[in-house]
Amino acid sequence: MNEKIAIGVLCILHIVGYVGIGLGVAPELIWLTPINLLISLLIARHFESNSIKAYMLFAIPAFLLGYGIEVAGVNTGLIFGEYQYGSVLGSKIWGTPLMIGVNWVLLTYAAGYALNAISPKWHTSLKAAFAATLLVILDFIIEPVAVKWDMWSWTEVDIPLQNYLAWWLIAFGMMHIFFYSFKNSTNKVAVAVLIIQFLFFGLLNLNSI
């Protein structure tokens, strides 16, 4: 599989998802969200030029950190605000879907490679800050869709500002793990994953207006 075919497969998966979910042709496709996340991560990983060791030095800490923070967030309400997960993202431990750790890995992986493509010579912290900002913008786009489709829900009517502040700080830290592991290497498929996520959730949001 070459890069163009891989990106094409990812586009097709998300177009089918948009038609099914966004246009209401097959709303039950929302239950395939965990599979879609895993496929996206595995396809992007297939084009990783660094060693498996470098990948694991990023993926394992990112999963554990992301999942651990989400567990603490759900059970205390002190990190992101008062929220709880629905059933769409699959099996949960301590009220938190295991897939949410995979989601943190996927999004930070994609955002990291996006910044490596845009500005490989920037200082690590500057790249991390921009990548974290991209992820907060993406989270802002995802939130209404996630709430509508029972991925998670908030106790408050309005999503608390602390959610976005926490997202930025956590993503900023995770991006340092990414850049330590992958330096200035590139992965066009991972970048495509980020772009596709923006387009997919952006279109779903437009459908909700």
Minimal CA–CA distance to 66: which of 94, 114, 28, 106? Answer: 106
What local confidence, expressed as pLDDT, does residue 120 receive? 87
What local confidence, expressed as pLDDT, does residue 183 receive? 87
Percent of residues in the chain assigned helix, strand, coil, to nearest 5? 75, 5, 20
Query: CA torsion 39→44→50→51, rounded to 10°?
Result: 10
What local confidence, expressed as pLDDT, does residue 95 receive? 95
Q: Give pTM, 2 decimals.
A: 0.94
CB atoms within 10 A of CB 161: 9
Query: Could you state, in order of their start, the residue ranges of all structural domains in the chain?
Result: 3-208
Residue 1, pLDDT above cutoff 80? no
**Quick check: 145 and 139 in contact, CB under 8 A?**
no
pLDDT in tens, 52-105: 999 999 999 999 999 999 999 999 999 999 999 999 999 999 999 999 999 999
Mean pLDDT within 173-177: 95
What local confidence, expressed as pLDDT, does residue 209 receive? 60
Mean pLDDT within 161-181: 95
Reduced to 3 states, what is the DSSP secondary structure of residue 200? helix
Mean pLDDT within 148-161: 91
Distance, in Å, from the CA atom of 60 to the CA atom of 56, rounded to the nearest integer, reads: 6
User: 101 exposed, middle or buried (CB, 10 Å; 0-12, 13-18, 19+)?
Assistant: buried
